[in-house]
Amino acid sequence: MNHLTYKPFDALSQRVPFTTLAVLFLMVFDEVFSMSMSSDGQERTIIYIFRFSMILVYLWYILLLNDFFMRRLRPLEMILVFFTLWSLFSAVMISPNKFLALMEVLRYIYWTLAFSFVYTVVRRYPQTVQYICFYFALSIIFYLWFTVTKSNEMIDLRGERTTGINSSYCLVFTYPWLLIYRRKLVKFLGMLAVCGGVIVSYKRGAVLVLFIAFCMTGFSGILIYRGKKLFRWVTTIVFIGIILTLLVLCLNLSFGLAAGYSYRMQDVQEGSFSGRREINEGLFNNISNSSYFETICGRGLFSTVQETGGAWAHNDWLESLFSLGIIGLVIFTLIHFCILVLLFRLLKSKTEYFIPCFTGYTIFFCRTLTAGWLHYTSFSYFLALIAVAYALSERGCLDNFFDDRYRIPGR
């Protein structure tokens, strides 16, 4: 083969259809696209149309591969279907605002089909995983574009008025994907970009979750590595930790982080947590005074927004209990149970893929307590990661995934 005319992507394009790679790109693009739009008006309508179109694309692709109705659904897949169906029932029969509730159901359908789509693709084309990782790394550029162009979400360097950047949660969910990307330079620079972007966003929850995720990355490596691999892993984590500490100091000198976070921590010191304490107390009081039907079936999807005057609980356990009742809370708990079972199997097999999945679950669990995943499309990032783990484990690829067997030609 003439090395002057050979292109690394030519060989891969013969294995993985271009349409598959394009749809994977749109899946990653959806989150940044959603965050770049406002919360109401014509732009929100564009988001609904785009997401509905993506649902049709997912369904078309899954049916095209004859893989959706010809196979047994994964446990997590079935739980997501049940959660979506129960949410649909709640939106149609109980919810006080049926239109907005149905739009939320549209988001849940998107999640479920995104999981099925990634599972289907990776099970057939395991080499696609590195392309997905590359797309998530590319989303960092989307984030920077959003930060520069969306003036109403820009940070205030003086620290007097800081609105924060909600798309920083999009960056947090890219962190586990960088852990399995093979190109070390891209991985290292990507981690620095993620950490730097989250830090200057002044999103307290995102910074806290990222710090916990970094600690869990080191801890998960300790659980599966032994001997020299363990020493190299601990050394790498310590080195990255030192670099991140220096990064924080540089950003503090450049952006005045201390003043900004001092402002952001004022309501924490006062015990309000941006009004979340009052919201949660009000929801708890309403739950305690609920009827039997409201306790079991909830008050309807999206009812917390109406109850609180435009805000949600920022806690998915409370949100599920208030909106979807005990039934919804049980289904939501089963989602966590299915993921924990998968993590236990990955840990038992001592596969390196346990590290990003465990880190991703840490981010997911912390988000359910502090900010919530029910109202963010970025949850599909984590579901895609879990779908990859399901697909590779069924193909028996996990033990060899980090070897040259599935390396992209030319990479």
Number of Cβ within 10 Å of residue 283's Cβ equals: 23
Token pair in block for residue 194: 């993620």
pLDDT tens for residues 391-403?
A: 888 776 665 555 5
Q: Angle formed by the axes of helices 75-93 and 316-348, to 10°?
A: 170
Residue 124: how many other CB atoms lie within 10 Å: 15
The distance from CA 315 to its chain's CA centroid, rounded to whole angstroms, is: 16
pTM of the model: 0.85
Which two three-digit tokens encode residue 373? 């995943």
Three-state helix/strand/coil letters over 257-325: HHHHHHHHCHHHHCCCCCCHHHHHHHHHHHHHCCCHHHHHHCCCCCHHHHHHCCCCCCCHHHHHHHHHH
Vertex 269, ends 264 and 270: CA angle to 5°?
105
pLDDT higher than threshold 50 for residue 203: yes
Distance between CA atoms of 175 and 158, rounded to whole angstroms? Answer: 28
Average pLDDT, integer, range 244-259 = 74
pLDDT value for 93: 92
Average pLDDT over residues 310-325: 84
Of 76, 184, 68, 179, the residue nearest 132 (C-alpha): 179
pLDDT of the residue at 324: 92
pLDDT, tens digit, for every residue of 355-384? 999 999 999 998 888 877 777 777 888 899
d(CA 316, CA 319): 5
- 333 CB-side CA count, 13 A: 10
Q: How many residues in the chain?
A: 411
Count of helices and strands (H, E) across the chain: 18, 0
Mean pLDDT confidence for 149-164? 47
Q: How far apart are CA 120 and CA 72, in angstroms?
A: 12
pLDDT-derived band at 272, boundaries 50, 70, 90: low
Other CB atoms within 10 A of residue 254 CB: 10
**CA separation for the pair 280, 386 (Å, rounded):** 30
Is residue 51 within 8 Å of residue 31, measured between CB atoms?
A: no
pLDDT at 252 over 60: yes
Is 80 exceeded by the pLDDT of residue 44? no
Average pLDDT, stretch 210-228? 90
Mean pLDDT for the stretch of residues 122-129: 85
Checking if the pLDDT of 153 tops 80, the result is: no
Mean pLDDT calculated for residue range 24-30: 81
Which has the minimum average pLDDT: 137-151, 182-196, 304-318, 345-359? 137-151
For helices 168-178 and 128-149, angle between their N-to-C axes, nearest 10 degrees: 150
Structure tokens at 199: 């830090």
Lowest model confidence (mean pLDDT) among 64-68, 76-80, 356-360: 64-68
CB 159 within 8 A of CB 200: no
Q: What DSSP state is assigned to residue 230? A: H
For range 140-154, the mean pLDDT: 61
Helix (H) or strand (E) holding 206: helix 204-224
Instruction: Name the one residue in this structure whose structure tokens are 């307290």.
Output: 204
> Rounded CA gap, 383 and 335, in Å?
11
How is residue 12 written in tokens?
Answer: 């891969």
pLDDT for residue 6: 30
- Whether residue 240 is predicted with pLDDT greater than 60 in this model: the reply is yes
Determine the Cα–Cα distance for residues 8 and 284; give it in Å rounded to an integer. 57
| Per-residue pLDDT tens over the stretch 97-124 | 888 888 888 888 888 888 988 998 888 8
Phi-psi region of 154 (alpha: psi -120 to 50; beta: other; left: phi over 0): beta
Q: How far is the first Cα of the chain from the last one, in angstroms, to the nearest whole number?
A: 17
**Cα of 61 vs its chain's centroid, Å:** 22
- The most confident of 98-107, 169-178, 339-348, by mean pLDDT: 339-348
Nearest to 65 by CA among 128, 125, 131: 125
Q: What is the mean pLDDT of residues 176-200?
A: 83
